Structure 1
Amino acid sequence: MYHSWLDRWDERRARRGEEGKEATDFVLDAERAFPDAKEIASLEEFCGLADQAVADPAFFDEPSGSDQGFQRQDGWLKFPSGISTDIEENNVVWAKITESGSFDQVMVVFHHWNATTRNRQIAKYFSRRGITVVEIAMPYHFERRRPGSLHADYMLSANLGRTIQSVRQGVWDGRKLIRWLKSEGYREISVLGMSLGSWIAGVIAAHDPAVSKASLFLTAGSLAEMVWTGRATRLIRDSLEPEIELTDLRRAWGPLNMENYVHRLARPDLDLHVVLAKRDKVVLPELSERFMQRLKDAGAKPNILELNCGHYSLAIPPYILLAGLSLKRFLSCADKSPRRI
């Protein structure tokens, strides 16, 4: 009875999330994803460039490596993004810093898609326990929102190239922030990603050796399959389905598939923590389970917490309390042995 109520609660929350959303046109927009692309007009050509990006270990490395332009004031940090888009607001990155008074550990938080508020409770909780929390705004969210938009529809959409550009921008911004934190003297750097934010945090952890711990909430490997099957992305699928098959979408968004980076995530100096929801209709459990298995096959030993709730109901008690306690233990523990609850 309780879980039936919980499922209905998640569905009502999903419907509220659809308000104001509209289907958009399917667009390749290859030059956004691959700036050196010239006159790419076919899906096959786009997929070829995506294959090259997957094989390129530097695809998520910011070319300039510039750490200039950081401004910090009254608990806020802002700096220029490494990618320049046609939305001026999106080209400046904002982050909220909640200090702990210690330079031993800092956690960078990447929020979920279409987030409207930062995670003040998380920041307050961990800062009181000696962990500085930095909440970064992902592309097209918060201070970076596209004027007039109700949703972060430029972050994730049926525009294949812009979606890759946006995720890549989020990764570059996160890595630039991490370099700054290292330069400021923070010793141990962790990342926490929630839902879409887990893809950003996961790709960063896979590519940046400065990250020693990564916690991924409500995650999976293939972003393409998540969008195709998930409850929150039905309108995106409606735009995609007449123009592209899932097989091709997997290949086109291959650079965004964390399954392609499992060996990087399995590096011995990275600890992994994962929180999954057994009743999730946004990131389907079978996609998460496959990703977990591929991590293990690559030699990773993730600490996995599975809760009997849905995607949205993870945010309500007792599930959010259990997830928070699990994260606290993970950040406090140096033991890399796997656990499954």
Structure 2
Amino acid sequence: MFYGWLDKWDEQRARRGEERKKAADFVLDADRAFPGAKKITSIEEFCALADQAVADPAFFDAPSVSDQGFERLDGWLKFPSDISTDIEQNNVVLAKITESGSFDQAMVIFHHWNATAWNRHIANFFSQRGITVVEIAMPYHFERSRPGSEYADYMLSPNLGRTIQSLRQAVLDGRKLIRLLKKEGYRDISVLGMSLGSWVAGLIAAHDLAVSKASLFLTAGSLADMVWTGRATRSIRDSLEAVIDLADLRAAWSPLNLENYAHRLARTDLDLHVVVARRDRVVLSEISQRFMQSLKNAGARPNIFTLECGHYSLAMPPYILLAGLSLKRFLSSPHFGNRGKFR
């Protein structure tokens, strides 16, 4: 009876979020995804470029490392993004810093899609335990929102190229912030990603050796599968499935598939923590389990914490408390690496 109520609550929460979402046109926009790409007109050409991006170890590197322009004021940090888009507000990154008074650890948080509030409770909890918390606004969220938009429709959409550009921008923004934290003297850097933010955090952990611990909440490997099957992305699938099938979408968004970087996430100097919701209808648990298996096949030993709740009900007690305590144990445990002894 309780789980029936919980599922119903999650469905009601999903419906509220669905009211703002609108159908949009399918667009390739390869030049947004792959800088310097020639004009293309077919999904086959787009997928060929995507394959090249997956094979390119520098695809998620900044085009030119420019760490100038940081502004700090009253616990807030602003800096220019390394990717310039046609939405001016989106080109300035905002981050909220909750200091701990220690330079031992810093944790960068990447929020979920369409977040409207900062994670104050999480930031306060960990800062009081010696971990400086930096919450970064992902593209098209908070002050970076597109004027007139009701939700972050440019971050995740049936525009294939803009979606890749947006997540790549989020990765470059996060890596730029991490470089600043290292310069300021923080010894250990962790990343925490929630839902869509977990893809960003995972891509950063896979490509940035400065990250020693990565915690991924409500995650999976294939973004394409999440969009195609997830409760929160039905409007995107409606726009896509009349034009392409899931196989094409997987190939087009292969640079965003964490399974393609499982070998990088299995590096020996990285610890992984994953929170999975068994009743999740946004990021289906079977997609998450497939990602976990790909990590294990690559030699990683992720610390997996499974809860009997849904995507939205994870934010409710007792689930959020249990997930928080699991994260606390993970962050406070000695660093063993993926092939070491886990807690």
What SS does the aligned partner of 1:94 have? strand
Instruction: Describe the SS at the equivalent of 1:294.
Output: helix
- CA-CA distance at 1:226 after TM superposition: 0.3
Q: Please give the secondary structure, in 2, of the residue aligned with 1:200.
A: helix
Partner of 2:244: 244
1:1-341 pair list within 5 angstroms: 1-334=1-334, 335=336, 336-338=340-342
CA RMSD of aligned residues (A): 0.7
Distance 1:164 1:20 in 2: 22
1:266-317 deviation digits (Å, cap 9, x = unpaired): 0000000000000000000100000001100100011010000000000000
Deviations 1:239-269 (A, max 9, x none): 0000001001000000000000000000000
Cα deviation, residue 157, structure 1: 0.2
Between the aligned partners of 2:39 and 2:196, the Cα distance in structure 1 is 30
Deviations along 1:89-148, one digit per CA (max 9) or x if unpaired, are 000000000000000000000000000001000000000000000000000000101111
TM-score normalised per structure 2 = 0.98
d(CA) in 2 for partners of 1:264, 1:170: 19
Which amino acid in structure 1 is aligned with residue 162 of structure 2? Answer: R
Deviation at 1:337, TM superposition (A): 2.9
For 1:80 and 1:326, locate their aligned partners in 2 and report how far apart those are by CA, in whole Å.
34
Give distance in 1, aligned partners of 2:296 and 2:39. Answer: 41
Deviation, structure 1 residue 338: 4.0
The TM-score with structure 1 as length reference comes to 0.99
Cα distance in structure 2, aligned partners of 1:49 and 1:279: 36
Letter in 1 for 2:296: K
Name the aligned partner's letter for residue 278 of structure 2: K
Q: 2: CA distance between counterparts of 1:180 and 1:118?
A: 21
AA matched with 1:6: L
Letter in 2 for 1:337: K
- SS of 2:226's equivalent in the other structure is helix
- The alignment partner of 1:329 has SS state of helix
Q: Secondary structure at the match of 2:180?
A: helix
Structure 1 unaligned spans of 5+: none
Matched position secondary structure for 1:291: helix
User: 2: distance between equivalents of 1:78 and 1:185?
Assistant: 19
User: What's the secondary structure of 2:272's corresponding residue?
Assistant: strand
Structure 2, unpaired ranges of 5+: none
In structure 2, C-alpha distance between the alignment counterparts of 1:37 and 1:75, rounded to whole Å: 39
- SS of the residue 1:96 aligns to: strand
- Structure 1 distance, partners of 2:2, 2:342, is 30
> How far apart, in 1, do the equivalents of 2:280 and 2:16 lie?
17
SS in 1 for 2:331: helix
- What CA distance in whole angstroms lies between the structure 2 residues aligned with 1:141 and 1:253? 21
> Aligned letter for 1:48?
A
SS of alignment partner, residue 101 of structure 2? coil
Q: How many angstroms apart in 2 are the aligned matches of 1:215 and 1:197?
A: 11
TM superposition outliers: structure 1 runs of 4+ over 4 Å: none
Tell me the alpha carbon deviations over residues 144-177 of structure 1, each in whole angstroms, 9 at most, x when there is no partner.
0111111000000000000000000000000000
Amino acid at match of 1:283: V
Q: What SS class does the counterpart of residue 134 from structure 1 fall into?
A: strand
User: What secondary structure is seen at the aligned counterpart in 1 of 2:62?
Assistant: coil
